[in-house]
Amino acid sequence: MIQNFLHFFADHFDMTGRYLEAASTYARDIDGVIALIGVLVGFWFILSEVAFFWLIFKFRAKDGVKSQYVAGETPEEKRWITWPHMAVLVCDVFIIVGAVWVWYNVKQNLPPAQQTVRVIGQQWAWTFVHPGPDGQLDTGDDIALIDELHVQKGVVYHYKLESRDVLHNFSVPVFRLKQDAIPGRTITGWFEPTKVGEHDIQCAEICGIGHGVMGARIHIESAAEHAAWMSQHSPTRTVASVASSPAPAAR
């Protein structure tokens, strides 16, 4: 029910989805929350601006009319504050219910992984360690690539996010995914790609002078394409040791 409510807003008032493809299972839910907030905040913004300028116009300076001092203390005057205030609180309930539902599903509830990838940020590149044909990370056939992540459509991925030096942020706009990478921690999250395609990955945390060039690409492939890509990477070409090589000095 909550999802239908959010998708109604995503379908009718969404700006994000108009310019940016939605390629994960939860992308439309997040778009829905943003659209819902936009509609509610926009409604009150327009209403209050109209009232504001109408009052300025109506009570503008006029010859022979002295201004009054209105303290806003009588119950009749206070109603102009309390009633809109109550209405805004009711709107907040809708936003909070929608936002908590989405947050729980995206960030707290971890669906079982079908595949796990390791994502390592450093100044200023991403290393993506893919499990090789055996489907297991940290084995000899792992495929480590710089600035290139290959995933399969319709598969639930867990990512293990790490940083070698400073704060980075693993951001995949088409997934509506953003997660801080924190040195010393391994942060687990998930995504499930829903559309084949090639898209940007970016670092969304100012991480030094090269932050702006810390981009990468995600390749979302069909099962056949993904299998073909994997077969191109024989174990001898993989760089499994990248994940455990020493960190470069932080700048």
The residue among 123 and 194 lying less far from Cu ion, judged by its C-beta, is 123
Residue 216 interacting with Cu ion (CB under 5 A): no
Closest CA to 31 of 58, 11, 48: 11
The residue among 143 and 214 lying less far from Cu ion, judged by its C-beta, is 214
Find the shortest distance in angstroms from Cβ 143 to Cu ion. Answer: 22
Compute the C-alpha angle 168/174/175, nearest 5°. 70
List the structure tokens of 74: 């009588």
Find the shortest distance in angstroms from Cβ 33 to Cu ion. Answer: 26
> Of the candidates 120, 214, 220, 230, which one interacts with Cu ion according to CB under 5 A?
214
Find the shortest distance in angstroms from Cβ 202 to Cu ion. Answer: 9
Looking at 25-172, which runs of residues are DSSP E strands? 115-122, 125-130, 143-146, 148-152, 157-163, 168-172
Helix (H) or strand (E) holding 218: strand 215-221
**Residues in 173-212 at the binding interface with Cu ion, rule: CB under 5 A:** 203, 207
The residue among 15 and 209 lying less far from Cu ion, judged by its C-beta, is 209
Pairing of strands 157-163, 177-181: unpaired
The residue among 27 and 207 lying less far from Cu ion, judged by its C-beta, is 207
Report which DSSP code applies to 15.
Answer: S
Find the shortest distance in angstroms from Cβ 167 to Cu ion. Answer: 8
The residue among 209 and 227 lying less far from Cu ion, judged by its C-beta, is 209
The residue among 33 and 207 lying less far from Cu ion, judged by its C-beta, is 207
Q: Give the Cβ contact number of residue 209 at 10 Å.
A: 10
* Contact by Cβ (8 Å): 91, 44: yes
**Residues in 110-169 at the binding interface with Cu ion, rule: CB under 5 A:** 168
* Contact by Cβ (8 Å): 161, 203: no
Find the shortest distance in angstroms from Cβ 239 to Cu ion. Answer: 21
Count of residues that bind Cu ion according to CB under 5 A: 4
The residue among 9 and 126 lying less far from Cu ion, judged by its C-beta, is 126
* Contact by Cβ (8 Å): 176, 202: no
Verify cis geometry, omega within 30 degrees of 0, for the bond prior to 124: yes
Find the shortest distance in angstroms from Cβ 175 to Cu ion. Answer: 18
Find the shortest distance in angstroms from Cβ 210 to Cu ion. Answer: 8
Distance CA 131, CA 148 (A): 14
Q: Which residues bind Cu ion (CB under 5 A)?
A: 168, 203, 207, 214
